[in-house]
């Protein structure tokens, strides 16, 4: 550790953060970090419990005079995203994170820093260690595996926490108060495909839709970007019958939670029709570029050499392209509580259909802050898929966290912020999953809110956290504790 890190304020928080940075803690490998937290809490005289999945719960008694107040839970996650720059020799299984000070921010040498959520974990530990802070009874909950499946929060036992309210410490923008998130559910529609030998005398070509921006299927779903899987379906619907094409395969998208950037189909065309097909594709590319405009200017539609020995029977191929065109994608509803927030959406994420395999699969990821809306949209996808002869299965569902801007927790945090900094917080919710959604499912009626210091480019080796913002975060947190 370089000398300048030892003088950072607040001292206890930074000291814990730097200690934690020496312990490898990739997602699903948090045992050492959990043992360190439990050991430190025990040393401080707190009551410590572990659950089977690896979460740690620490109870600290109220400070003198605060015993009559309801308990408050503080929560952060132990794991961190492990990303490094090409050529960085760092071994995330054993090496300490190399934290360094770059002017007003802290960074790591060539790797993610783990300020997400190491600062939150360190802040909770500093509260547990304090002798002079006023606070109600504290339950500090340290969860595992937030970053690759939320399994720590998802396996939380009902009844473990006793506090009726929870402050999550995993937000990434000073002055913002997060009060809601979306739940999600995967829908996979699949069907068998009738297959025929490829007709003789045709040219196999690979029709590609590419150059789109893609992005996160929740956070970027309202950004007006093109969906390569949808566009592939639309292009094929426009040219297959007109040019008597046969389809051998369709493939596009690779992650449920990413808007598809690329998709392609292997088609067979009579050589005499290839020039007319190319001309039509050129016109379609111009039309779609005009439609997408500045939202997604990079669209390109191309034909390359392909290969196929079998084709999908024409009727079944039409069923697949029909589902790609008719299946929902994009924003379904906006939030009535928070301006600009998407409430319900779905991402037409992946298509994989192949004459060689004789099967087609189309995947959607549906999100909503309202569980009933999420289920309704997933059911609509299944109904549309059934019309095209697909059978749909839903899986991996997790609940949303409905914003309650009038809750006591929101009023408490916002009131303290107003008194300290002379302005209200920016109240927001995000259209993606957070641990609070899962915690709220296990603890109905739990009042929750989330705060954190400003950090940037989390989940990348460029991750950095503002030193001044951590100090402001600590002032806010300790003032909340004094009022709670």
Of the ranges 169-177, 189-197, 222-230, 246-254, which one interacts with Zn ion (CB under 5 A)? 169-177
Instruction: For the CB of residue 171, give the shortest distance to Zn ion in the complex, in Å.
Output: 9
Q: Does 435 bind Zn ion (CB under 5 A)?
A: no
End-to-end CA distance of the chain: 36
Contacts 24+ apart (CB under 8 A), 152-158: 152/53, 152/54, 152/55, 152/77, 152/78, 152/435, 153/435, 153/438, 153/439, 154/398, 154/438, 155/51, 155/52, 155/53, 155/55, 156/51, 156/55, 156/438, 156/439, 156/442, 157/51, 157/442, 158/442, 158/443
Whole-angstrom distance, CA of residue 79 vs CA of residue 444: 26
Instruction: For the CB of residue 170, give the shortest distance to Zn ion in the complex, in Å.
Output: 4
Q: Does 171 bind Zn ion (CB under 5 A)?
A: no
Binding track over 355-374 against Zn ion, x by CB under 5 A = --------------------
Judge contact between 388 and 381, C-beta under 8 A.
Answer: no
Whole-angstrom distance, CA of residue 403 vs CA of residue 334: 13
Whole-angstrom distance, CA of residue 167 vs CA of residue 165: 7
How many chain residues are in contact with Zn ion, going by CB under 5 A? 3
Q: Does 30 bind Zn ion (CB under 5 A)?
A: no
Candidates 170, 316, 435, 441; binder of Zn ion (CB under 5 A) is 170
- The yes-or-no answer on residue 404 being catalytic is no
Instruction: For the CB of residue 451, give the shortest distance to Zn ion in the complex, in Å.
Output: 13
Of the ranges 51-59, 109-117, 185-193, 213-221, which one interacts with Zn ion (CB under 5 A)? 109-117
- The yes-or-no answer on residue 79 being catalytic is yes
Judge contact between 62 and 136, C-beta under 8 A.
Answer: yes
- Residue 83, Cβ density class (10 Å: 0-12 exposed, 13-18 middle, ≥19 buried): middle
Q: Which residues, 6 or more positions from 293, have their beta carbon under 8 angstroms from its beta carbon?
A: none
Of the ranges 15-23, 48-56, 85-93, 113-121, which one interacts with Zn ion (CB under 5 A)? 113-121
Residues β-bridged to residue 353? 250, 360
From residue 409, give the alpha-carbon distance in Å to each of 167, 369, 473: 8, 19, 17
Q: Does 346 bind Zn ion (CB under 5 A)?
A: no
Judge contact between 115 and 108, C-beta under 8 A.
Answer: no
- Residue nearer to Zn ion on the CB measure, 55 or 117: 117
Of the ranges 66-74, 85-93, 111-119, 180-188, which one interacts with Zn ion (CB under 5 A)? 111-119
Instruction: For the CB of residue 25, give the shortest distance to Zn ion in the complex, in Å.
Output: 12
- Residue nearer to Zn ion on the CB measure, 76 or 252: 76
Element holding 22 (H helix, E strand): none
Of the ranges 163-171, 346-354, 376-384, 387-395, which one interacts with Zn ion (CB under 5 A)? 163-171
SS3 content of the chain, % helix, strand, coil (to 5): 30, 30, 40
Instruction: For the CB of residue 147, give the shortest distance to Zn ion in the complex, in Å.
Output: 7
Q: Which of 30, 116, 145, 146 is catalytic?
A: 146
Q: Which of 79, 174, 316, 441 is catalytic?
A: 79
Candidates 30, 40, 79, 116; binder of Zn ion (CB under 5 A) is 116
Q: Helices (DSSP H) in 159-246: which residue ranges?
A: 228-239
- Residue nearer to Zn ion on the CB measure, 176 or 244: 176
- Residue nearer to Zn ion on the CB measure, 80 or 319: 80
- Residue nearer to Zn ion on the CB measure, 116 or 463: 116
Instruction: For the CB of residue 381, give the shortest distance to Zn ion in the complex, in Å.
Output: 30
Binding track over 117-136 against Zn ion, x by CB under 5 A = x-------------------
From residue 297, give the alpha-carbon distance in Å to each of 192, 223, 265, 329: 36, 13, 22, 19
Instruction: For the CB of residue 432, give the shortest distance to Zn ion in the complex, in Å.
Output: 11
CA dihedral 344, 347, 362, 189 (to 10 degrees): -10
Of the ranges 162-170, 344-352, 387-395, 402-410, which one interacts with Zn ion (CB under 5 A)? 162-170
Instruction: For the CB of residue 115, give the shortest distance to Zn ion in the complex, in Å.
Output: 9
Q: Which are the catalytic amino acids?
A: 79, 146
Which residues bind to Zn ion, rule: CB under 5 A? Answer: 116-117, 170
């Amino acid at each position: 550790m370089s000398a300048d890190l030892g003088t950072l304020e607040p001292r206890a928080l930074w000291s814990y953060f730097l200690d934690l940075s020496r312990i490898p803690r990739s997602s699903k490998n948090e045992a050492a970090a959990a043992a360190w937290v439990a050991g430190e809490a025990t040393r401080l005289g707190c009551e410590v419990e572990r659950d089977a999945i690896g979460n740690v719960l620490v109870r600290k008694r109220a400070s003198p005079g605060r015993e009559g107040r309801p308990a408050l839970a503080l929560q952060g996650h132990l794991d961190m995203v492990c990303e490094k720059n090409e050529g960085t020799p760092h071994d995330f299984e054993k090496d300490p994170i190399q934290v360094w000070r770059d002017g007003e921010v802290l960074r790591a040498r060539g790797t993610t820093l783990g300020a997400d959520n190491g600062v939150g974990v360190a802040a909770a530990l500093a509260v547990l260690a304090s002798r002079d802070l006023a606070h109600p009874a504290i339950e500090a909950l340290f969860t595992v595996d937030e970053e690759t499946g939320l399994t720590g929060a998802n396996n939380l036992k009902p009844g473990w926490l006793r506090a009726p309210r929870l402050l999550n410490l995993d937000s990434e923008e000073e002055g913002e108060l997060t009060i809601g998130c979306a739940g999600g559910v995967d829908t996979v529609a699949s069907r068998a495909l009738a297959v025929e030998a490829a007709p003789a005398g045709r040219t196999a070509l690979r029709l590609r839709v590419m150059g789109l921006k893609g992005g996160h299927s929740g956070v970027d779903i309202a950004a007006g970007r093109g969906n390569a899987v949808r566009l592939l379906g639309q292009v094929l619907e426009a040219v297959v019958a007109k040019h008597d094409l046969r389809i051998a395969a369709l493939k596009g998208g690779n992650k449920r939670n990413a808007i598809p950037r690329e998709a392609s189909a292997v088609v067979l065309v009579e050589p005499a029709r290839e020039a007319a097909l190319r001309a039509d594709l050129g016109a379609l590319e111009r039309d779609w570029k005009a439609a997408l405009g500045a939202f997604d200017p990079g669209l390109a539609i191309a034909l390359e050499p392909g290969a196929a020995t079998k084709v999908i029977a024409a009727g079944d191929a039409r069923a697949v392209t029909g589902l790609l065109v008719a299946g929902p994608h994009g924003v379904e509803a906006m939030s009535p509580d928070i301006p600009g927030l998407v409430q319900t959406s779905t991402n037409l994420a992946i298509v994989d259909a192949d004459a060689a395999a004789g099967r087609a699969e189309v995947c959607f990821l549906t999100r909503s802050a309202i569980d009933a809306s999420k289920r309704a949209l997933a059911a609509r996808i299944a109904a549309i898929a059934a019309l095209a002869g697909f059978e749909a299965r839903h899986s991996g569902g997790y609940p949303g966290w409905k914003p309650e801007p009038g809750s006591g927790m929101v009023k408490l945090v916002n009131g303290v912020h107003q008194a300290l900094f002379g302005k209200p917080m920016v109240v927001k919710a995000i259209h993606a999953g957070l641990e609070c959604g899962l915690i709220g499912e296990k603890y109905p009626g739990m009042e929750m809110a989330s705060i954190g210091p400003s950090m940037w480019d989390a989940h990348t080796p460029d991750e950095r956290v503002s030193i001044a913002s951590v100090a402001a975060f600590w002032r806010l947190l300790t003032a909340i504790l004094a009022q709670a």
